[in-house]
Amino acid sequence: MSPVDNSSNPGERSGDSPGDNSRADATSWASPKPFALALMAGGLVLLVVAIVSVDQPAGAVLIALAAVLLLGYGLAALVIRPRLSIALGGLYIRTIRGGRVYSRREIVRTRVIEQRHIGRRTPQLEFDLLDEGSELTGDPDGLPENTRLVMFSRWDLGTDPRSVAQALSDAGYPVQDTARE
């Protein structure tokens, strides 16, 4: 898959991105829209099944719960876009809490790590970011105390986290690849 360009996303809330339109030439990554729509379609199907199976209350409740979870997850994948962008002023990172541009000074560490999931090793892109308005404090050899951890998987980015890490590295951001060390 290739990066998704969402630089003209009209759904931005005020305060999510800088006022100087610094995301105009950004390279962006987000969850694939077709998969998010498929989750929502599956949620709607399960909701219909829950309504039809009302004569079995326990099953209907469980199916309705699964439907709500699928609808919520699909909606989040459609709304929280782009998840990550290379912007002129830094990196634009959008989470469920909102979006923000982090300057190079606020990015403490960027690395690719591998996690074991169901017997497979999957890469994750990990950012350690300074809290808003904070200065570096803590152990100079270790990770500062006032940081926030943000992790992105293949689902979040719509592509392999290693290729995103390479794009970040090409843009001048230092990236550690602990998965290959």
Beta-carbon contacts of residue 155 (< 8 Å; ≥ 6 apart): 31, 35
Q: What is the pLDDT of residue 6?
A: 42
CB-based contact 111:105 (threshold 8 Å): no
- Which neighbouring-strand residues pair with 84? 29, 93
Q: State pLDDT tens for residues 25-65.
A: 448 999 999 999 999 999 999 999 999 998 999 999 999 99
Q: State pLDDT tens for residues 103-142.
A: 988 998 999 999 887 888 899 999 999 877 666 666 655 6
3-state DSSP call for residue 155? helix
Q: Which of 46, 38, 49 is nearest to 75 (CA)?
A: 38
What are the DSSP E strand ranges found in the chain? 27-29, 84-87, 90-95, 98-102, 107-117, 120-130, 147-152, 176-177
What's this model's pTM, rounded to 2 decimal places? 0.74
Q: What is the pLDDT of residue 153?
A: 92
Domain residue spans of the chain? 33-79, 104-177
